[in-house]
Amino acid sequence: QKEVEQDPGPLSVPEGAIVSLNCTYSNSAFQYFMWYRQYSRKGPELLMYTYSSGNKEDGRFTAQVDKSSKYISLFIRDSQPSDSATYLCAMSLNSNSGYALNFGKGTSLLVTP
C-alpha cells in the first residue's frame, strides 16, 4: 500500500464551483502537510502547507488536516478556469532524508467557463 493515496480524477467543475480535493495517508508520523499545484510541463508550485491538525486559509484556498483520521483536504472557492491543473498532496517528517516529501499521484482538475 502506498503511503499517500489520492484520487487521480479527472475532476471537472463549472466556473464558480467549490472544489474539494482529498488525500489519505498511512504513516501517523507525518508532521508537515502540503498542497502543490502543477501546470502542464511546469514544476510543482507550493500552494499551502500546514503543521498539525486544523484549518489554514489563504484567499480562495483552505487546507484541512485531520491527523486522527489521517485525512487532508484542499478546498477551492469560486473556482476559475486558471485553477485548471494537477493538484498534488504531499507530506513529510524529519528524517535522514531531511524533509523528503511523500506525494500522492495528483488529481487533475478542469474548471470550465
Partner 1 sequence: GAGVSQSPSNKVTEKGKDVELRCDPISGHTALYWYRQSLGQGLEFLIYFQGNSAPDKSGLPSDRFSAERTGGSVSTLTIQRTQQEDSAVYLCASSPGTGGGYTFGSGTRLTVV
CB 48 within 8 A of CB 35: yes
Among left, alpha and beta (phi > 0; psi -120 to 50; other), residue 73 is beta
Q: Which residue lies nearer to partner 1 by CB, 39 or 112?
A: 39
d(CA 66, CA 59): 21
Q: Does 112 bind partner 1 (CB under 8 A)?
A: no
Which residues between 83 and 102 bind partner 1 (CB under 8 A)? 88, 90, 92, 94, 96-102
Q: Does 63 bind partner 1 (CB under 8 A)?
A: no
Applying CB under 8 A, among 87, 104, 107, 109 the residue interacting with partner 1 is 104
Q: Does 31 bind partner 1 (CB under 8 A)?
A: yes
Residue 37: CB atoms within 10 A of its CB come to 21
